[in-house]
Amino acid sequence: MVTRKIELKTYLIVGIITLLIFILGMALGIIIDNERVRSIEQKSKEQELAQQSLQFQYAYMNSLEMNEAACPVFKVTLTNSLNDLGESLAKLEQYSKDTDINRKEFGLLTRDYILDNLRYWLFARRTRELCDMDFVEILYFFSDKCDNCPDQGVILTYYKKIYRERLLVFPINVDYENDEKSIKMLRERYNVTELPTIVVKDTSYMGVVQKEKLGNIICGSFKTEQAEC
């Protein structure tokens, strides 16, 4: 009979090396997560500044009544800000999904972004009339808990890619409505009882609006004829 001996030492050493590698990975993950919070916070500050700048430009246009002349500058600032906002929001969504540790921080940041979105939405509406710009803005009410909301998201993204700065989509996550009363306000104003709902030119469309129908709605909302329609 063979006498069998196992050296516990080997098992322990292997275990320690394994744990070290594992902890190294975990630590890296935590560092990255914090870095993400920081970068989003920074972006958020930049966007706040951009918004103040817009506010000033807007007030300036109103008071001096030189609307026409100031419009081009205003237009550029607005489109850039909106693109920026869209990108940050996409990142924020991805980071919040990944995070295990900074859930609260990402939650607060999301609220921040919802407010930004609403402010921009107001700007956009007023500017369109003031500067005679031709774009369509869509309010998109959704929830993380709603099953077919992602479908509407996909279709909206598709048209956003086609019309780019001529189509402004303002996503509103109603999951935050208890924290952010302005969401509730808008929801009541547009009579949103079902999710997803999109609002185009103050008309609400409940349930998923399919590709064809949404295409027609968008086309019908431009002031002038568009090549894509």
Partner 1 sequence: MNILMEAFLWITYLSALYFAIFWLLTFIEKRDDFRKEEKRELTISDYPYVSIIIPAYNSESTIQECLSSVANLDYPKDKLEIIAVNDGSKDSTGQMIREFAKANKKRNIRLISRENKGKAASLNEALGMAKGELFACLDSDSFVERETLKKMVYAFKTGGDDLKIVIPALKISKPKNMLQKLQHMEYLISMFLNRILSHLDSNYVAPGPFSLYSKAAVVDSGGFDENNLTEDQEIAYRMQSNHYDIVHCHDAYVHTVAPDSISGLSKQRNRWYKGGLINLINYRRIILNKEYGHFGMFQLPMIFFLSIGAIATVVFFNYYVTWPVLKNLYNLYLVGFDIMPYIKSFRPTFDLLSLDLAKGMAAFFVLFFTAAIVAISVKNAKEKLSIKTLMYAVPYFMIYYIIISFIAVISLAELLVGKTQKW
Question: How are beta strands 167-173 and 136-142 bridged, if at all?
Answer: parallel
Closer residue to partner 1 (CB): 1 or 69:
1
Closer residue to partner 1 (CB): 53 or 94:
94
Closer residue to partner 1 (CB): 37 or 183:
37
Q: Is 191 among the residues that bind partner 1 (CB under 8 A)? A: no
Stretch near partner 1 under the rule CB under 8 A, chosen from 59-67, 116-124, 154-162, 172-180:
154-162
Closer residue to partner 1 (CB): 6 or 69:
6
Q: Is 6 among the residues that bind partner 1 (CB under 8 A)? A: yes
Q: Which of 53, 55, 80, 94 binds partner 1 (CB under 8 A)?
A: 94
Closer residue to partner 1 (CB): 7 or 65:
7
Neighbouring C-alpha atoms within 13 Å toward the C-beta of 101: 12
Q: Is 14 among the residues that bind partner 1 (CB under 8 A)? A: yes
**Which amino acid would we find at residue 113?**
Y
How far apart (Å, rounded) are the C-alpha atoms in residues 29 and 81?
A: 30
Which of 48, 40, 171 has the alpha carbon at shortest distance from 106? 40
Q: Is 84 among the residues that bind partner 1 (CB under 8 A)? A: no
Q: How far is the CB of 206 from partner 1 (least distance, A)?
A: 18
Residues in contact with partner 1, shown as a per-residue x/- string from 16 to 55 under the rule CB under 8 A: -xx--xx-xxx-xx--x--xx--x----------------
Q: Is 82 among the residues that bind partner 1 (CB under 8 A)? A: no
Binding-residue total with partner 1 (CB under 8 A): 37
Q: What is the largest CA-CA distance in the chain?
A: 103
Q: Which of 41, 75, 86, 91 binds partner 1 (CB under 8 A)?
A: 91
Binding site for partner 1 (CB under 8 A): 1-2, 4-6, 10-11, 13-15, 17-18, 21-22, 24-26, 28-29, 32, 35-36, 39, 91, 94, 97-98, 100, 151, 154-155, 158, 161-162, 164, 210-211
